[in-house]
Structure 1
């Protein structure tokens, strides 16, 4: 019998190459000392083979890139020629499977409707990482269609990949929709990963898998060749085990893309976001603090996080949440309308092997393949989206204007102004809930994602510890293009707190004794 606290599984060492809990900087030191990128890539692949469909069976990786080892060997050749490309050269990373890569693997969004979507084209964000020397190790599982299909969905499940399991407690959600990116990086299947977010899909799985995750300002990272929900809110974002690693990945991601007009000014913000990170970055900085309702067990952890911010030199100012009546409804109206328009546009660009070329055809495919595509939940949101009237519709335009106003000018902007602060902090989410194929998601506790997602503002989550053995995160939010500010503040907090703990792959959460009584 396995006891609470028992480590369920440890991957075998691969020679002298160890990848568990290794940072990007650690891997670069290893390579500088003679360990090859090929050996590191082999070690990650062996760890995935031992733990993702065996061992704890996380189901976080949906496909391995058959070209990964060749990419690693190319990096080794550059290093031997003293032509290394920078801090990402030779570092294996994983890509959420709604982001296209030119490798010979499909981009499926988890759906059987896209199982033949081998586009052989890089999303510009992937091209940027490839140009920096990153090894594209494979694709991660996700909540199917980025969790926009059903009002009763189960985060982390896709028809192709199955259900992603949380490496801290295997019966708990990994959240979504970047579920596989969260679980895989927590389990050291790669140094870092890309996720995507429309509202919470980077920061929630980061928080619930003990990671750092950044939802960037809209317009800094290209969305071209990324399976869409909303051109107003979608963005790729980096996920890693430390703020510095997120900053390194993000530095390679930022850039203008002529095919994505929102990124026209991104070049002004291209920089090395890891350079100059300092433990003293919060000294004298005014920080607005929200104190939302949360589970009682979370309160001491949040109080400790605020104490760590003070220890780092921050000046904390409590603020009240603004009234935002109607925000969620307005956001939902926007997402439904843009889903129809944006998904139809994306599907039209896929190869001829993809037979579902409109949202209506995807709906029909799901209905015809209900046993495999809809065993647990339906497609209510898809059906609602199919009935919308387009992005020139007056009701849609009104909903977008209302949601922007409530989230931005009357939301985050007002809170920061009232505190005379540049950064807002609050708990990212509550505790990871039980994965439930009958009732779907049932989150409890706070959620920090909506306002920065709707406003298009940057949102960084950093681990603030464990509650009953489960990770919780602390959010850092700023106004548009304040990405450097949240990264710097998050780094200073991380250095003051050091609250991330590695996963133990427990069958259930380590909530303490007492479930079986005393005998």
Structure 2
């Protein structure tokens, strides 16, 4: 962590040298003259266009907040030493009337399984800090060509939560434990835990997460932010530490649906190095934010997958969401998605084979660290930190898994993907639905390394295994703990689910800034 702290300290010294901002309180009053937590990207762009804000001031405010508040949350591994230079370049473009678009000058954090030349991905492992990729991840290149300011890297559940059957989300050997900013001894959920917690704590305008199954939407729900898991292939995975090419995707996390839509518009696009992106339809929307409108729910038919009876607060929040949908003109139909047990039985063994295949391929091009899964297993056994909280059972199972040409594996993957797609497609078709809504998460559990993650419910698997879009949006609370709902639909329906989520957000705004409570009852 010494190198991480040096990077952070250097950037903060630059901030403090160039700013006379007062110490930042927990609320998002940064001295900018407006509530940063509530501000959307379009509002920030308007302020910058009219001269009331600069990218340097905005980036400085976020860096100051990271320094002031992230000691409580531990969501940011390191700030990018070039962030203020990138912000200054954005301001120069704006003065010359050469803005690169709606993401120009907007500070963005990246989950630390995404390669950048300045800050190579570690996946949270102490085995990878010396890795030096030859280039930025494709999605980072797209962000930079859109003018975004790369603010730094966020902590994650080490190896995207695919190391142990008994893991605790938000912990990594490099970053330690990320905390939920609403109640600090509660868990932030999912492998994109640092991205969700950082956005919730107003430490960046947007963060990029990744998901194999639940790792964008669950931290979005648990941290009261928006998370969009795109259709598989919409965003390139080149330069992202993999679990499985059959399910992995990166996606935006933000406090507002419009910000997620703006960011996705920049992230998406074909990449010759990622064959999945070749399937993007010629008619796929280029500007998702332009398709958001408050009346999107009127006349829509929405299936509700309640997952009822598992948590009383979730049942209440889903009931409130159904009443909101109905009040906004949607017809709501109860559904029960089929095939879930069979999908679950096939998914994990398929992922084990794919993880070994795809991780070994990734490591081959990243010199300076263990070069295979077997070498990582051996590294962890020698390291004094890596196995201090929980083991590496999934690593060991993946190392022993059959190869990708094994007929049993091929049947498992075909079963998981086809049944997940059918579970959504058949339900939409049979009931003439436009989308399905379901609870994203139950209230965050207390972080406990003895018991591991205490999941009660989640709805991510059908869309994740199918490769279909899924967006979580804040919907309510259990005391101080957030609960989200997810909208998902068929392949390439990203614009539709974002429009429904935005209309729901407008009709029943549930987002509120965290209070950083030490524990419940405090």
Q: TM-score, normalised by structure 1?
A: 0.93
Task: Give the alignment partner of residue 317 of structure 1, picking from 320, 333, 346.
Answer: 333
The match for 1:349 is 365
The match for 1:328 is 344
The match for 2:103 is 88
SS at match of 1:193: strand
Within 5 Å, give how 1:142-153 maps onto structure 2.
Answer: 142-153=156-167
The match for 1:188 is 202
The match for 1:418 is 430
The match for 2:222 is 208
The match for 1:271 is 286
Task: Give the alignment partner of residue 44 of structure 2, picking from 27, 32, 54.
Answer: 27
Shift of 1:120: 5.0
Conserved? CA contact 2:211–2:250, under 8 Å? yes
1:99-125 Cα shifts (integer Å, max 9, x gaps): 1123x2231010010111232521111
CA distance in 2, matches of 1:20, 1:484: 25
List, as ranges, runs of 4+ consecutive aligned residues in structure 1 with deviation greater than 3 Å.
7-21
C-alpha spacing 1:406/1:265, structure 2 compared with 1 (3 Å): closer
1:356-412 Cα shifts (integer Å, max 9, x gaps): 01000000000010x211111000000000112221111110001111222111x11
Conserved? CA contact 2:183–2:517, under 8 Å? yes
Shift of 1:10: 4.4
CA distance in 2, matches of 1:12, 1:247: 25
CA distance in 2, matches of 1:308, 1:80: 44
C-alpha spacing 1:368/1:497, structure 2 compared with 1 (3 Å): same
CA distance in 2, matches of 1:495, 1:273: 16
C-alpha spacing 1:15/1:255, structure 2 compared with 1 (3 Å): closer
Tell me which moved more, 502-511 or 358-367.
Answer: 502-511
Conserved? CA contact 1:463–1:473, under 8 Å? yes
The match for 2:416 is 403
1:168-220 Cα shifts (integer Å, max 9, x gaps): 11011101200000000001101011000000000000000001111111011
Shift of 1:491: 1.0
- Pair 1:38 & 2:56 matched: yes
Task: Give the alignment partner of residue 389 of structure 2, picking from 359, 372, 376.
Answer: 376
Which 5+ residue runs of structure 1 have no aligned equivalent? 1-6, 512-519
Task: Give the alignment partner of residue 340 of structure 1, picking from 356, 360, 382.
Answer: 356
1:303-361 Cα shifts (integer Å, max 9, x gaps): 111111111111111122314333212100111000000000000011x3x22010000
- Pair 1:438 & 2:455 matched: no
CA distance in 1, matches of 2:146, 2:404: 37
Shift of 1:429: 1.5
- Pairwise CA RMSD: 1.6
Tell me which moved more, 114-123 or 229-238.
Answer: 114-123
The match for 1:3 is none
CA distance in 2, matches of 1:302, 1:79: 44
- Pair 1:78 & 2:93 matched: yes
- Pair 1:97 & 2:88 matched: no
Q: TM-score, normalised by structure 2?
A: 0.92
The match for 2:467 is 456
CA distance in 1, matches of 2:60, 2:34: 9
CA distance in 1, matches of 2:280, 2:259: 21
Shift of 1:15: 6.2
- Pair 1:218 & 2:232 matched: yes
C-alpha spacing 1:10/1:319, structure 2 compared with 1 (3 Å): closer
- Pair 1:366 & 2:380 matched: yes
Count, aligned residues: 496
SS at match of 2:127: helix
1:232-275 Cα shifts (integer Å, max 9, x gaps): 00000110011111000000011001001011032622510000
- Pair 1:504 & 2:515 matched: yes
Which 5+ residue runs of structure 2 have no aligned equivalent? 1-23
- Pair 1:51 & 2:69 matched: yes
Shift of 1:14: 4.4
C-alpha spacing 1:323/1:379, structure 2 compared with 1 (3 Å): same
1:425-444 Cα shifts (integer Å, max 9, x gaps): 11111111111121111111
Task: Give the alignment partner of residue 119 of structure 1, picking from 133, 136, 140.
Answer: 133
CA distance in 1, matches of 2:407, 2:25: 55
Conserved? CA contact 1:92–1:190, under 8 Å? yes
Task: Give the alignment partner of residue 484 of structure 1, picking from 477, 491, 495.
Answer: 495
- Pair 1:475 & 2:486 matched: yes
SS at match of 1:493: helix
The match for 1:386 is 399
Conserved? CA contact 1:17–1:40, under 8 Å? no
Task: Give the alignment partner of residue 259 of structure 1, picking from 252, 270, 273.
Answer: 273
Shift of 1:17: 7.6
CA distance in 2, matches of 1:12, 1:210: 19
CA distance in 1, matches of 2:286, 2:25: 42
The match for 2:8 is none
SS at match of 1:275: helix
CA distance in 1, matches of 2:340, 2:292: 35
- Pair 1:281 & 2:296 matched: yes
SS at match of 1:401: helix
- Pair 1:291 & 2:306 matched: yes
